[in-house]
Structure 1
Amino acid sequence: MKIAIGADHAGYRLKDVVVPFIQELGHEVEDLGAFTADSVDYPDFAGDVCDKVVSGAVDRGILICGTGIGMSIAANKVPGIRCALVGDLFSAKATREHNNTNVLALGERVIGPGVAQEIIKVWLETEFSHGPRHEGRINKISSIEAKYTQQP
């Protein structure tokens, strides 16, 4: 898989730890920054990663900020993105199986590198559980999105 990853100044250290880990798992990584602790705005990085995902240039995206909250809010404003903020392994698996998430948000100040790596591994390896129950719910999410993105 090809993964786009982006972080702000509060998440770039964790990003720098997980990029080689993702590569060791056999995935290609496109690192979109940030690369320093200089203050930047997380919506810029969320937008860049999500653009790559919705365009099909990458298969999935990972976003990291201090808590993951800002990144997940910004990401979910992009039509076609289903981003989940995850801090445990059960949620990492469930969000792929049930919600078919295409972007993962993590908080550097909330979880350590070891937990982040475990979450990423589970999230990347878990497939969506196709079937009428979960697909119907995803379609309902898409309908809500379409309702609010239609131009007058």
Structure 2
Amino acid sequence: MRIAIASDHAATDLKAELRDWLIEEGHEVADLGPEPGESVDYPDYGRKLADVVSEGTAERGIALCGSGIGISMACNRNPEIRCALVSEPLSAALAREHNDANVIAMGARLTGGEMAKACVTAFLSTDFAGGRHQRRVDKLSFLEN
């Protein structure tokens, strides 16, 4: 699977850990930055990630910042993105199954590497259920209209 990953400066270590692990698992990973040691603004990296996923360059995205909150808000400014803030595997699986999430966000200050990997595994291995959920997901793109 083609996966894009981005973070702010608070989450570069977790980003690198997840990127390397995903590559070992056989995924194609686009690391959108930043490099360790740079102080950056999470909205810039949330937008980069959202653009790559909405354009179809990546099938899924992983957004990281200190809490996961700010970068998830930034991603969700793009109407093609359904980014869910997750902290454990059940929320990651339900985000896919019920909400057809195409991006997950996590907080590096709140979620350790092993839990983050468990969340990513659930996110990538769960299919969207469709059915009654499709109607609800369709409405998400039209909330501003």
TM-score by structure 2 length? 0.97
1:65 aligns with 2:58: no
Please list the CA deviations of residues 106-146 of structure 1 after superposition, one character each: whole Å capped at 9, or x if unmatched.
10000100100110011011110021x1001101212214x
- 2:44 aligned partner: 44
Give the Å deviation of 1:88: 0.9
Correspondences of 1:5-20 after superposition (within 5 Å): 5-20=5-20
State the secondary structure of the residue aligned to 1:62.
Answer: strand
State how far apart, in whole Å, the 1-side matches of 2:62 and 2:107 are: 11
Q: Which runs of 5+ in 2 are unaligned?
A: none
Q: Which runs of 5+ in 1 are unaligned?
A: 148-152
- 1:144 aligned partner: 143
What amino acid does structure 2 have at the position aligned with 1:5?
A: I
State the secondary structure of the residue aligned to 1:94.
Answer: helix
Please list the CA deviations of residues 41-84 of structure 1 after superposition, one character each: whole Å capped at 9, or x if unmatched.
01111111111111111101111000000000111111210000
State how far apart, in whole Å, the 1-side matches of 2:60 and 2:73 are: 17
- 1:89 aligned partner: 89
What amino acid does structure 1 have at the position aligned with 2:134?
A: E
Alignment check: 8 A CA contact 1:84 1:105 kept: yes
Please list the CA deviations of residues 15-34 of structure 1 after superposition, one character each: whole Å capped at 9, or x if unmatched.
01111111122210000111
Identity rate, percent: 46
State how far apart, in whole Å, the 1-side matches of 2:8 and 2:21 are: 19
Alignment check: 8 A CA contact 1:11 1:107 kept: yes
State how far apart, in whole Å, the 2-side matches of 1:32 and 1:41 are: 13
Larger Rg: 1
* Stretches (4+) displaced over 4 A: none
TM-score by structure 1 length? 0.92
What amino acid does structure 2 have at the position aligned with 1:140?
A: K
- 1:33 aligned partner: 33
What amino acid does structure 1 have at the position aligned with 2:92?
A: A
Aligned length: 145
- 1:76 aligned partner: 76
CA RMSD of aligned residues (A): 0.9
